[in-house]
Structure 1
């Protein structure tokens, strides 16, 4: 199992954790949503739970609930700026289809 961060994503997560003044890393998960079935859920984690797996890249921890691992195994999380827009980008090898608006995916 693996979850990868690009250097840009790690830099952004560090920046946000410093701005918050607390946190141990980024929590990545999935939730049922949209027309394709699942959407990514991101939040900053302040503690580890018993059912969490931890991945570290560029000194930044990504925490994933073990039940979500089959949906995100092998994912690369990037952070990109395009014009005035900036956002995390998910490069997930498990995705079989996405909805037209890009908000949800199926595996």
Structure 2
């Protein structure tokens, strides 16, 4: 939908690829669907769910055994994002390095994007 021919809308690190493939195999899922929803301190939160099948309009990114499904409403906001998986002593999880983010909250759970051209600014 918002793609450039021959260019993947997101990149997936090897650590994320292994974790996505592991989750897909455990739950017999077709892929990991990522999207955005309103919420959090900064305005938007990433969403992730294992999906049985791609939904109409999903952008599908495949790498090795991993498959990421990008929800249509999130595609323009996620273009250029690197998806990583980090493991640490206190927490482990997916990390999104998104060049489109203009602000994020202190805890890193929510993000904000520049207003789309032609959209009305919030009062």
Q: RMSD value over aligned CA atoms? A: 1.2
TM-score (norm 2): 0.81
What is the TM-score when the length of structure 1 is the normalising length?
0.92
Give the gaps of 5 or more residues in structure 1.
Answer: none
Q: 2:86 matched to 1:66? A: no
Q: Which residue of 2 aligns with 1:80?
A: 86
Name segments (4+ residues, structure 1) moved above 6 Å.
none
Residue 15 (structure 1) aligned with residue 22 (structure 2): yes
**Contact 1:3–1:62 (CA<8 Å) still a contact in 2?**
no
Residue 59 (structure 1) shift: 3.2
Distance 2:36 2:15 in 1: 22
Q: 1:48 pairs with 54, 72, 82, which one?
A: 54
- Of Structure 1 and Structure 2, the greater strand share is in 1
CA distance in structure 2 between the aligned counterparts of 1:17 and 1:59, rounded to whole angstroms = 9
Gaps of 5+ in 2: 4-8, 114-123
Q: Distance in 2 between matches of 1:84 and 1:19?
A: 24
Q: Number of paired residues?
A: 106
Contact 2:35–2:73 (CA under 8 A) maintained in structure 1 = no
Greater relative CO, 1 or 2 (CA 8 Å, sep 6+)? 1
**Considering only CA atoms, is the larger Rg found in Structure 1 or Structure 2?**
2
